[in-house]
Amino acid sequence: MKVKAKAHPNIAMVKYWGKADDELRLPMNSSISITLDKLWTVTEVEFDKRFKEDKVVLSGGDFSKKERLRVVRHLDRIRGMAGVDIKARVVTRNNFKKASGMASSASGFAALSLAGSKAVGLNLSEKELSVLARLGSGSACRSIPGGIVIWHKGSDNKSSYAESIKIGKSLDIRVLLIEVDQDGEKEVGSTRGMDLAKTSPYFTQAIKRAERNLGKIKLAIRLNKWEKIGEVVETECFRLHVLAMTSKPAILYWEPASLRIMNKVFELREKGIMAYFTADAGPHIHVICKRKDEKQLMSELKKLVGVKQVISCGVGERARLLS
Ligand code: PMV
Last residue of a domain, one of 167, 194, 226: 167
Q: Are residues 178 and 70 in the same domain?
A: no
Give the integer Cα–Cα distance in Å for 113 and 189. 21
pLDDT band at 267 (very low <50, low <70, confident <90, very high): very high
For the chain, state the CA radius of gyration. Answer: 19
Q: Is residue 322 part of a domain?
A: no
Give the integer Cα–Cα distance in Å for 25 and 109. 13
Q: Are residues 152 and 205 in the same domain?
A: no
Q: Are residues 241 and 309 in the same domain?
A: yes
Q: Are residues 153 and 7 in the same domain?
A: yes
Q: Is residue 74 part of a domain?
A: yes
Ligand 1 close to Cβ of residue 28 (< 6 A)? no
Instruction: Report CA(233)–ligand 1 centroid distance (Å).
Output: 15
pLDDT digits (tens, 9 = 90+) for 78-90: 999 999 999 999 9
Ligand 1 close to Cβ of residue 29 (< 6 A)? no
Indicate which CATH number applies to the domain containing 252: 3.30.70.890
Residue nearest atom 7 of ligand 1, based on CA coordinates: 16
Instruction: Report CA(50)–ligand 1 centroid distance (Å).
Output: 36
Single-letter residue type at 265: V
Tell me how many domains the chain contains. Answer: 2
pLDDT digits (tens, 9 = 90+) for 153-193: 999 999 999 999 988 667 899 999 999 998 765 578 899 99
pLDDT of 187 reads 74
- Of 228, 214, 203, 195, nearest to 151 by C-alpha is 214
Query: Which range of residues forms the domain containing residue 186?
Result: 174-313
Q: Is the pLDDT of residue 101 over 60?
A: no
Instruction: Report CA(57)–ligand 1 centroid distance (Å).
Output: 23
Q: Are residues 157 and 17 in the same domain?
A: yes
- What is the distance, to the nearest Å, from the Cα of residue 41 to the centroid of all Cα atoms in its chain? 12
Q: Is residue 321 part of a domain?
A: no
The mean pLDDT of 115-140, rounded to a whole number, is 98
The mean pLDDT of 243-272, rounded to a whole number, is 97
Indicate which CATH number applies to the domain containing 48: 3.30.230.10
Q: Is residue 148 part of a domain?
A: yes
% of the chain beyond a pLDDT of 70: 96
Phi, psi of 148 (to 5 degrees): -90, 130
Residue nearest atom 9 of ligand 1, based on CA coordinates: 280
Q: Is residue 323 part of a domain?
A: no
Instruction: Report CA(8)–ligand 1 centroid distance (Å).
Output: 14
Q: Is residue 262 part of a domain?
A: yes
- pTM > 0.85: yes
Beta-strand pair 55-58/88-94:
parallel
Last residue of a domain, one of 106, 133, 167: 167
Instruction: Report CA(150)–ligand 1 centroid distance (Å).
Output: 13
Q: How many CA atoms lie within 13 A of 210 on its CB side?
A: 28
- Of 160, 64, 67, 66, nearest to 112 by C-alpha is 67
pLDDT of 185 reads 59
Q: Are residues 149 and 191 in the same domain?
A: no
Q: Are residues 159 and 307 in the same domain?
A: no
Q: Is residue 300 part of a domain?
A: yes
Residue nearest atom 5 of ligand 1, based on CA coordinates: 139
What single DSSP character describes residue 304? Answer: S
State the distance between the two ends of the chain, measured CA to CA, in whole angstroms: 10
Q: Is residue 320 part of a domain?
A: no
Please, what's the b/e burial string for 5-22 (b: 16 or more CB within 10 A of its CB; e: otherwise)? bbbbbbbbbbbbbbbeee
Q: Are residues 151 and 197 in the same domain?
A: no
* DSSP character string of 113-165: HHHHHHHTT----HHHHHHHHHHH-GGGGGGSS-SEEEEE--SSTTT-EEEEP
Q: In sequence order, what are the residues at sequence separation of 6 or more whose Cβ sits closer than 8 angstroms to the Cβ of residue 220?
A: 226, 228, 229, 232
pLDDT of 184 reads 62
Instruction: Report CA(15)–ligand 1 centroid distance (Å).
Output: 7
Q: Are residues 142 and 188 in the same domain?
A: no
Q: Are residues 158 and 26 in the same domain?
A: yes
Left if phi > 0, otherwise alpha if psi is -120 to 50, otherwise beta: which for 158?
A: alpha
Judge contact between 121 and 102, C-beta under 8 A.
Answer: no
pLDDT digits (tens, 9 = 90+) for 280-303: 999 999 999 999 999 999 999 999
Angle between helices 294-302 and 256-270 (to 10 degrees): 140
Q: Are residues 80 and 115 in the same domain?
A: yes
pLDDT band at 59 (very low <50, low <70, confident <90, very high): confident
pLDDT digits (tens, 9 = 90+) for 10-57: 999 999 999 999 999 999 999 999 999 999 999 999 999 999 999 999
Last residue of a domain, one of 167, 199, 225: 167
Q: Which atom of ligand 1 is nearest to the CA of 15?
A: 13
pLDDT band at 97 (very low <50, low <70, confident <90, very high): confident
Q: Are residues 227 and 146 in the same domain?
A: no
Q: Which atom of ligand 1 is nearest to the CA of 138?
A: 3
Residue nearest atom 1 of ligand 1, based on CA coordinates: 139
Dihedral over Cα of 84, 93, 322, 287: its sign: positive
Ligand 1 close to Cβ of residue 90 (< 6 A)? no
pLDDT of 102 reads 60
